[in-house]
Amino acid sequence: MNPTQIVVQPGGKPVIGKFIQAVMNPGDEVLYPNPGYPIHESQIDYDGGVAKAHRYVPTATGFRIDVDQMRDLITPRTTVLIYNDLQNPMSAESSQVEREDIAGLARRHDLQVLSDEAHFEMRCSGAPSSIASLPAMPERTTIVYTFSKQFATTGLRLAARPPRSPLPMSLPS
Ligand SMILES: Cc1ncc(COP(=O)(O)O)c(C=O)c1O
């Protein structure tokens, strides 16, 4: 990745909306996680897409994506996949095998991927790894990252320069 591939926005949420508007046409089918961050589904609906929920199944230690169900949901109208690892709200962590299976689906069906990495580093074990690092994935993946989780700075706004003038300390007489 180089700096020309990075766009800075005021929070992660606007990126989800702009991504959907940029890559999806009305009527396209979009896979998204459910349970999940509610903005994924509402943004697909708002822009006239067909939101298709992919689900999670319990494991001995948590949850995993039901990749077979995800595969069954894909039709010729499916153009976009929203993938959330580490997942909100269930903290499901993809294994490398799961990540590679999902990347394989994206390549095979020519899907654009939104990799929502808002909680990327917040893992119980192991090192985080992005689906965008897998072969032939950078060109079809947009990563959402945000300061609001790892750096606990919800509401912090970026400033290109300091305020122009200080607030007056007292009212003129
Ligand atoms: C999975 C996920 N993606 C994106 C966001 C949006 O992040 P931000 O608070 O920077 O708008 C959140 C916020 O809770 C989230 O949980």
Domains of the chain: 7-150 (3.40.640.10)
CB-based contacts of 129-133 (< 8 A; 24+ apart in sequence): 129/96, 129/99, 131/83, 131/85, 131/94, 131/99, 131/102, 131/103, 131/106
Mean pLDDT of 36-63: 96
Higher pLDDT: 37 or 164? It is 37
Residue 47 is predicted with a pLDDT of: 97
Please give the span between the terminal C-alpha atoms of the chain, in angstroms, as a whole number. 56
Average pLDDT, the chain: 90
CB 55 within 8 A of CB 83: no
Residue 157 is predicted with a pLDDT of: 60
Atom of ligand 1 nearest to the CA of 84: 1
Residue 169 is predicted with a pLDDT of: 57
Query: How many angstroms is it from 53 CA to the middle of ligand 1?
Result: 18
The tokens describing 156, both together, are 């912090």
pLDDT, tens digit (0-9, with 9 covering 90-100), for 59-109: 998 999 999 999 999 999 999 999 999 999 999 999 999 999 999 999 999
Atom of ligand 1 nearest to the CA of 13: 11
Is the C-beta atom of 49 inside 6 A of ligand 1?
no
Confidence of residue 163 (pLDDT cuts 50, 70, 90): low
Is residue 171's pLDDT more than 70? Answer: no
CB 90 within 8 A of CB 35: yes
pLDDT, tens digit (0-9, with 9 covering 90-100), for 120-132: 988 877 788 999 9
Is residue 162's pLDDT more than 80? Answer: no
Residue 156 is predicted with a pLDDT of: 65
Higher pLDDT: 166 or 116? It is 116
Is residue 166's pLDDT more than 70? Answer: no
Query: How many angstroms is it from 92 CA to the middle of ligand 1?
Result: 16
Query: How many angstroms is it from 36 CA to the middle of ligand 1?
Result: 11
Query: How many angstroms is it from 51 CA to the middle of ligand 1?
Result: 19
Which amino acid residue places its CA nearest to atom 14 of ligand 1?
37
